[in-house]
């Protein structure tokens, strides 16, 4: 059972991101403030959700909570590095919330705070706090949606299936078609072949 909050009665925003590992596409972060007494059975097992369950939860989270999503594009990821880009996206999401939170619950072990709001980091925070789990769902579903849109413009990379992650299909497409403006040039975009490959 996930905890509803860290300290009752305080406006806490759960923050998480999606898309640190892909070779292409943005990193997307979400910030979510749950209403007092909010609960949802599916949030208690967010890592095991199907795509359909995530999509359903997204609708309910967006209807029932205060939330914001922010996107940091590949050029900024290359300029900042992926860790700074991820925490920058979280800060942008927090700043876009309709009301300022009192405290931030951050998924992960490092955070570069660009706000003056106090925070605490939690490793695997989406398995600890409902607000972080809700933010995780929004970040992932929004990013997946963006990657499907990009896939329509660049179908050869299979982004509707691999979401920009370093799969064999994606590496093959890069080798055959080259890179796009949506690829992260600071990442290793080509497979590292070994002496023992056939």
* Full-model pTM: 0.94
User: CA distances (Å), 27 to each of 19, 30, 95, 140, 193, in order?
Assistant: 5, 10, 17, 10, 27
**Distance in angstroms (rounded) separating the CA atoms of residues 190 and 23:** 10
**Which pLDDT value is given to residue 47?**
67
Residue-number span of the structural domain to which 119 is assigned: 12-177
Render pLDDT for 143-154 as a digit per residue (tens, 0 to 9): 999 999 999 999
Tens digit of each residue's pLDDT (9 = 90 or more) over 114-143: 999 999 999 999 999 999 999 999 999 999
Counting as low any pLDDT under 70, the low residues of the chain are 44-47, 193-198
* pLDDT reported for residue 158: 96
Does 64 fall in a domain?
Answer: yes
Domain assignment of residue 47, yes or no? yes
81 found inside a domain? yes
Residue recorded with tokens 């095991």: 48
DSSP lists the bridge partners of residue 13 as 33, 104
If DSSP states are collapsed to H, E and C, what string results for 120-184?
EEECCHHHCEHHHHHHHHHHHHHHHHHHHHHHHHCHHHCHHHHCCCCCHHHHHHHHHHCCCCCEC
Assigned domain for 187 exists? no
pLDDT at 45: 62
Q: Check residue 193 and give its pLDDT.
A: 58
Which pLDDT belongs to residue 190? 85
Total domain count, the chain? 1
Q: What is the DSSP string of 6-64?
A: SSTTS-EEEEEEE-SS-SBS-EEEEEEEPPTT---GGGGGGGG--HHHHHHHHHHHHHH
Q: 79: which residues sit within 8 A by CB, 6+ positions away?
A: none
Would residue 195 count as lying in a domain? no
Give the three-state DSSP class for 3. Answer: strand
Whether 142 is in a domain gets the answer yes
Note whether residue 135 is domain-resident.
yes
Predicted confidence (pLDDT) per residue in 20-31, tens digit: 999 999 999 999
* CATH classification at residue 126: 3.30.420.10
């Amino acid at each position: 059972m996930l905890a509803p909050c860290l300290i009752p009665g305080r406006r806490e925003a759960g923050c998480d991101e999606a898309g640190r590992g892909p070779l292409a596409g943005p990193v997307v972060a979400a910030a979510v403030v749950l209403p007092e007494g909010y609960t949802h059975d599916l949030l208690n097992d967010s890592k095991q959700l199907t795509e359909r369950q995530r999509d359903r939860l997204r609708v309910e989270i967006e209807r029932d909570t205060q939330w914001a999503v922010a996107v940091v594009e590949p050029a900024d990821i290359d300029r900042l590095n992926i860790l700074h880009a991820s925490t920058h996206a979280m800060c942008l999401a927090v700043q876009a919330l309709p009301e300022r939170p009192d405290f931030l619950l951050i998924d992960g072990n490092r955070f570069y705070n660009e706000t003056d709001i106090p925070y605490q980091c939690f490793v695997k925070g989406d398995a600890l706090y409902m607000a972080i789990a809700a933010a995780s769902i929004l970040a992932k579903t929004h990013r997946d949606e963006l990657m499907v849109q990009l896939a329509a413009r660049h179908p050869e990379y299979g982004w509707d299936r691999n979401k920009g992650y370093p799969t064999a299909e994606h590496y093959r497409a890069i080798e055959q078609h080259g890179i796009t403006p949506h690829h992260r040039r600071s990442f290793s975009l080509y497979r590292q072949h070994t002496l023992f490959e056939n």
